[in-house]
Amino acid sequence: MNTSKTKENKYTIAVVPGDGIGTEVMDATISVLNELDIEFNYIYAEAGDACLEKTGSALPQETLDIVRDADACLFGAAGETAADVIVKLRQEMKMFANLRPVKAYPNTNSLSEDIDFMIVRENTEGLYIADKEEFTDDGATAKRVITREAEERIIDYAFQYAKDNNKSKVTGVHKANVLKKSDGLFKEIFYEVGERYPDIEKEDFYVDATAMYLITQPESFEVIVTTNLFGDILSDEGAGLVGGLGLIPSANIGNYGALFEPVHGSAPDIAGKGIANPIAMMLSAVMMLRYLGESESAQKLDNAILKLLTEAKVLTGDLGGNATTNDVANEIIKLLR
């Protein structure tokens, strides 16, 4: 632990490691955060598959209360109970905005060196509403919910994000040619809200065209705003552009709290082997630091991660190296010192 300075600014952080590699990447990230000149009070909580087996609930009320009372939450990974854990947390905490940055780093087999865009995904409705899905005599049905209030809120958030981060263009993504009412409404609201931001360029694409353009011209995107399911799929495609899911962090932001998690899942095939890439979890912590207003520490950690990837001496297997999760954490700690 860095003891060269008196630590300042104390925050209570809910820590939910979750399932599989969640515990491993979380431990690595906490060890790195402890090197910063910030005092964190970590409160650990359980959720996920193992929690369900142990307690009968994938997301106990105690965990929800801990997340609600904290300044922010770090979440590791969800397994088969993801819908009952992370989706419910987002809904209970009204975390309506899911931010998923897609950025090219050195030595990560990125499709292009100039990829750097943000996917702003609506988090509370669309197809990801469990109580709107049900079995029928013939199979099953799911109801897709699009409301003016939620879509206007997320689209305005995307334009404001672009304005605050010196981005010049926002792209709305939908399927209004087929989903004429629900996505037709999304497209209508996109341009209505866009009128409030005259200095920002607006464009819209169908989601299938966007999937192609992410491959053929990823450098052209700056901020993408879209609905829940489309945002989920496109962000995984974005991960493929820049070296894989081990490099994609995310933030869930709302009026009553924020949760930060890597986009990757619990990866049961490598869980317990100590070889998971912790960079996505660490980049999620960078997003948390910025959310808390700790910009200097966020930049310090971001710079250390960038240097590690640039030097390419300590990389996990997914990036062509043979380092362990702890090797990466220890190298980041050295760079921070």
DSSP 329: H
β-partners of residue 41 are: 12
Catalytic residues: 128, 175, 208, 232, 236
CB 37 within 8 A of CB 8: yes
* Both structure tokens of 227: 């609905």
CB 119 within 8 A of CB 226: yes
- DSSP letters along 170-186, please? EEEEE-TTTSTTHHHHH
Element (H, E) at 72: strand 72-77
- DSSP letters along 191-228, please? HHHHTT-TTSEEEEEEHHHHHHHHHH-GGG-SEEEE-H
DSSP 103: E
Which are the contacts of 80, defined by CB distance < 8 A and separation ≥ 6?
Answer: 49
